[in-house]
């Protein structure tokens, strides 16, 4: 089984949980807020044989096709036996989305991660000024942590931080002012609090902030995020090192409350493995599909050119696809880390992922031309489109098949389905090695979470894919949209 990697949708905003303790991730010898003297040069890319990106792309595609073809050959007896029950066309369709498509995706992903040799970040002679937008609504329990983390950034350039309150009905604004007084910004970093009398929605508030932004580089940060002290600097260094045409860079968003319960433990692995790996893969081929609102960098003028963030539940994915539709590139910085609250209740998780699925449909309906745009990223657009039938087949065929298998009926799930496990294990080993190496360079620890990993591999998909189907249905049926995770 395992989890089929998918893109990260709109940023999460579940209910508050107890205060984040960053020391859970820091190595014992690491200061929680290092001074500028602790800034180290970025790692230098190792000297290995260089393969052009199109060659890596072709190799990943060929290996993915080879694995899918091998799977087809192995599954022929399964197709015959299932075809006698539901007909051969239906059997081919069901097995394709149970085994062939996920197999191609995992093989392509693992090959890409192994071949990834992105340009190294570098310390800059001059760090450009930037604006950070923090939209908040009823975030009184979390906003102080966010202010504290932004106040401790080691960024060397000028920085204006706009806290944009969207008509909060609690004491969010008071908490912001208290946190600013308690954690004053460093050097030439300045906080500004902008309040709105009524709640208008996140996109409206962000667009107001975009209009106010004084600097050409704009970052967005969720109001419940803890931004690691070098994350803003790393994001800008990656932006400067990436190829021409880059107009946005997504940061790495990880779970900050993973020890809360079994659900958050699973989600830690989804953020650490699945979402991070997909973004890294997409960025290598010049097309990360989502610069998530939780923590991303944008070129201000280009974002204004595409109209900023649209009024929809998936404002960040639709805005990102608007950049791709104009021919721009979105990068990814794997070591620019922000820790975010993930849902702590199953109902919250379901509403969040339903919203992400609706955002994906919104993006397809708004920018259908990306399906035929001649660039390497077109594969990932189709990749996302294939999640619709994949989720449908998994929900209405594979999960019922697992239930039947418990009674000795192996029509849809049985010994043959175990053949996908070796590739899933390989993929998880590859991305864990890559992520662990990145954490080590950051003086961060990978927390022990074995139970969460087991649940992630064997249970997570059975929760996630039916929820995604629910999200697709609500969007296509025109059900009223709401945020739904508070």
pLDDT digits (tens, 9 = 90+) for 285-314: 887 889 999 999 999 999 999 999 998 888
**Which H or E run contains 340?**
strand 329-340
Q: Is the pLDDT of residue 20 over 70?
A: no
Dihedral sign computed on CA atoms, order 264, 472, 248, 112: positive
**Which H or E run contains 391?**
helix 387-393
Cα distances from 366 to residues 310, 369, 373, 385, in angstroms, run 10, 9, 14, 14
Q: Is the pLDDT of residue 221 over 90?
A: yes
Neighbours of 326 (CB within 10 A): 12
| Per-residue model confidence (pLDDT) at position 397 | 87
| Contact predicate 10/358, CB 8 Å | no
Cα distances from 470 to residues 274, 318, 387, in angstroms, run 21, 20, 13
Residue with tokens 């397809």: 364
Sheet strands (E) in 409-454? none
| Per-residue model confidence (pLDDT) at position 23 | 45
Note the residue count of the chain.
486
| Per-residue model confidence (pLDDT) at position 249 | 96
**Which H or E run contains 76?**
helix 53-86
Main-chain phi, psi angles of 84, to 5 degrees: -70, -20
| Contact predicate 123/112, CB 8 Å | no
Dihedral sign computed on CA atoms, order 288, 445, 5, 133: negative
Cα distances from 60 to residues 208, 252, 390, in angstroms, run 42, 23, 21
Pair type for strands 217-221 and 189-195: unpaired
pLDDT in tens, 391-444: 999 999 888 888 888 787 877 776 666 666 666 777 777 788 887 887 788 777
| Per-residue model confidence (pLDDT) at position 440 | 80
The torsion defined by the Cα of 178, 180, 184 and 186, in degrees rounded to 10, comes to 170
Q: Is the pLDDT of residue 248 over 90?
A: yes
The residue among 51, 148, 65, 56 whose CA lies nearest residue 100 is 65
Greater pLDDT, 284 or 264:
264
Q: Is the pLDDT of residue 338 over 90?
A: yes
| Contact predicate 98/412, CB 8 Å | yes
Q: How far apart are the first and last CA of the chain?
A: 32
């Amino acid at each position: 089984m395992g989890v089929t990697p998918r893109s990260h949708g709109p940023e999460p905003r579940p209910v508050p949980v107890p205060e984040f303790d960053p020391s859970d991730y820091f190595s014992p010898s690491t200061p929680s807020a290092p001074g500028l003297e602790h800034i180290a040069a970025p790692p230098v890319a190792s000297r290995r044989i260089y393969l052009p990106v199109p060659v890596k792309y072709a190799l990943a595609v060929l290996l993915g096709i080879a694995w899918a073809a091998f799977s087809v050959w192995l599954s022929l007896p399964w197709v015959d036996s299932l075809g006698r029950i539901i007909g051969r066309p239906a059997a081919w369709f069901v097995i394709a989305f149970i085994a062939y498509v996920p197999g191609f995706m995992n093989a392509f992903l693992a090959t890409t991660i192994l071949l990834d040799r992105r340009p190294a970040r570098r310390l800059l002679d001059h760090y450009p000024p930037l604006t950070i937008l923090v939209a908040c609504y009823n975030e009184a329990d979390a906003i102080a942590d966010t202010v504290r983390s932004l106040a401790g950034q080691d960024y060397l350039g000028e920085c204006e931080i706009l806290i944009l309150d969207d008509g909060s009905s609690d004491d969010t604004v008071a908490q912001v002012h208290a946190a600013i007084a308690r954690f004053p910004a460093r050097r030439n970093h300045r906080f500004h609090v902008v309040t709105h009398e009524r709640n208008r929605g996140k996109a409206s508030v962000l667009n107001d902030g975009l209009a106010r932004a004084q600097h050409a580089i704009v970052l967005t940060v969720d109001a419940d995020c803890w931004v690691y002290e070098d994350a803003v600097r790393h994001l800008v260094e990656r932006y400067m090192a990436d190829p021409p045409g880059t107009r946005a860079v997504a940061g790495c968003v990880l779970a900050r409350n993973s020890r809360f319960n079994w659900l958050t433990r699973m989600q830690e692995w989804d953020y650490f493995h699945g979402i991070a790996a997909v973004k890294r893969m997409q960025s290598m081929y010049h097309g990360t599909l989502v610069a998530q609102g939780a923590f991303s960098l944008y070129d201000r003028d280009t974002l204004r050119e595409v109209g900023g963030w649209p009024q929809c539940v998936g404002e960040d994915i639709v805005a990102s696809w608007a950049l791709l539709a104009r021919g721009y590139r979105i990068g990814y910085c794997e070591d620019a880390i922000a820790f975010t609250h993930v849902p702590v209740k199953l109902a919250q998780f379901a509403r969040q992922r339903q919203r992400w699925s609706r955002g994906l449909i919104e993006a397809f309906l708004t920018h259908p031309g990306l399906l035929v745009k001649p660039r390497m990223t077109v594969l990932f657009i189709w990749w996302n489109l294939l999640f619709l039938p994949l989720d449908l087949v998994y929900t209405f065929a594979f999960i019922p098949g697992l239930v039947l298998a418990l009674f000795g009926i192996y029509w849809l799930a049985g010994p043959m389905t175990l053949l996908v496990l070796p590739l899933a294990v390989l993929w998880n080993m590859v991305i864990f090695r890559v992520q662990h190496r990145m954490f080590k360079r950051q003086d961060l620890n990978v927390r022990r979470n074995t139970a969460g990993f087991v649940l992630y591999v064997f249970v997570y998909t059975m929760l996630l894919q039916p929820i995604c189907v629910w999200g697709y249905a609500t969007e296509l049926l025109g059900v009223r949209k709401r945020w739904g995770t508070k």
